[in-house]
Amino acid sequence: MNTIKKVVSTVWYDKENYHELRNIFPESEFVYVDFYDKERVEKELEDADVAIILGDVDNCMLHSPTLKWIACDHAGLNGSARDEVFATNLIVTGAAGRSAPVLAEHCIYFMLQSCYHTKELLEAQEKGQWGVEGSNTWKGLYGRKVGIIGMGNNGKMVADRLRAFDMDIYAYDKYPIKGYDFLKKKYVGNNGDTIDEILETCDFIILTLILNDETYHMFSTEEFKKMKPQSFIVNMARGGIIDTEALTKAISQGEISGAGLDVAEEEPLPSDHPLWRMENVYITPHCTPQVPNRARRSIEIIRENKRRFESGEPMLNQLKETDKFSSGSVTSGFAKLTNSNLSKEEIEKIPLENFLGKRGWSDPAEWNYIDN
């Protein structure tokens, strides 16, 4: 049985959620460190068993002789899927699934934007214009075909919700898709299936799969050529799954109708990029709205993984060798903030609460106590 004597945390929680997290480890020493104070992080980890961190695994975390488990407080672990991490015996886990319900809503938001030609309608509204030319040809979601690529937490939530729209749902995953018998058809990569039939058949393509060396630029010139001219692609996964240049060309040449993008290969997407100004392209800046108390959902994953760690069971959302990503760079979100080369003094000048949310505490003593 694994024991946890010391936990080091760098996550950015308010005091209520930190108190909840601290109480998962009642028998352990629990130390908070600012995520950007890498010198102190490395020092505190010298005798720690568990680290709960904001962002990806930093190289300063790889030298502890006692550290066994690192819990990353975000879903995508491709930034941690590096050779130097796999060279250790560390267990690395993530928070996949915590935002799945609203991520599914975000997919449908993009789909409805395309169906209802939102840009055209808003332009007409601004002009006080009643009606838009061609609107009698627009089609809703009902009765149309949608393909979901990646049937993990997010893909399943999307399927659950699109079922209510009476859409024909096709799904692809590398591994067998258990249950979900309402799907029109299931495709399994490990059984030799490809995504070709989905591309050729579906009006909407939804990407909810992980980014790794196998999925990098999974959608490029040839894939777009196989899609129907009226098809619309939604990327709620990672930007690197789509070849941005190929996507831009496919839309401009009418090979597909448009895209809904919450992610991009380069984030932020440069302001002069042509995708911003394409008629049927809708872009959000990697900002799916939060579920009520997203941190609490992460905490529940950590709580279950703590139980599994102590009993030696397989962990939820564990980083695997197959998650390795070396085909491109990780240039967005947490990677930019937590892996930056800014000094501690420079980062302390940044209004972090504007980006990470209000914490409502200044001294860990406000939450770092055990309930009786």
Encode pLDDT of 192-205 as tens digits. 999 999 999 999 99
DSSP per position, 192-236: T--SHHHHHH-SEEEE----STTTTT-BSHHHHHHS-TT-EEEE-
Catalytic hit among 16, 214, 267, 304: 267
pLDDT at 20 over 80: yes
pLDDT bracket for residue 350 (50, 70, 90): confident
pLDDT at 331 over 50: no
Catalytic hit among 22, 82, 98, 238: 238
Percentage of the chain beyond pLDDT 90 is: 81
pLDDT at 326 over 70: yes
Lowest mean pLDDT among 47-51, 135-139, 330-334: 330-334
Mean pLDDT, rounded, for 300-325: 94
Mean pLDDT, rounded, for 348-370: 90
Please tell me the distance from the alpha carbon of residue 237 to that of residue 103, in angstroms, as a whole number: 10
pLDDT at 137 over 60: yes
198 or 75, greater pLDDT: 198
106 is catalytic: no
The mean of the pLDDT values for the chain is 93
Task: Write out pLDDT tens, residues 211-237.
Answer: 999 999 999 999 999 999 999 999 999
Strand-by-strand arrangement of the 281-283 sheet = 185-188, 168-173, 145-149, 204-207, 232-235, 258-261, 281-283
Task: Write out pLDDT tens, residues 41-68.
Answer: 999 999 999 999 998 999 999 999 999 9
pLDDT at 339: 60
Task: Write out pLDDT tens, residues 108-132.
Answer: 999 999 999 999 999 999 999 999 9
pLDDT at 39: 93
pLDDT at 357: 85
Please report the sign of the dihedral spanned by the C-alpha atoms of residue 46, residue 50, residue 53, residue 56. Answer: positive
Strand partners, 260: 234, 282
286 is catalytic: yes
pLDDT at 99: 84
Judge contact between 148 and 170, C-beta under 8 A: yes
267 is catalytic: yes
pLDDT at 329: 57
Q: Which domains does the chain have, with CATH numbers?
A: 6-98+291-366 (3.40.50.720), 100-283 (3.40.50.720)
Mean pLDDT, rounded, for 261-283: 96
Catalytic hit among 40, 286, 296, 359: 286
pLDDT at 54: 92
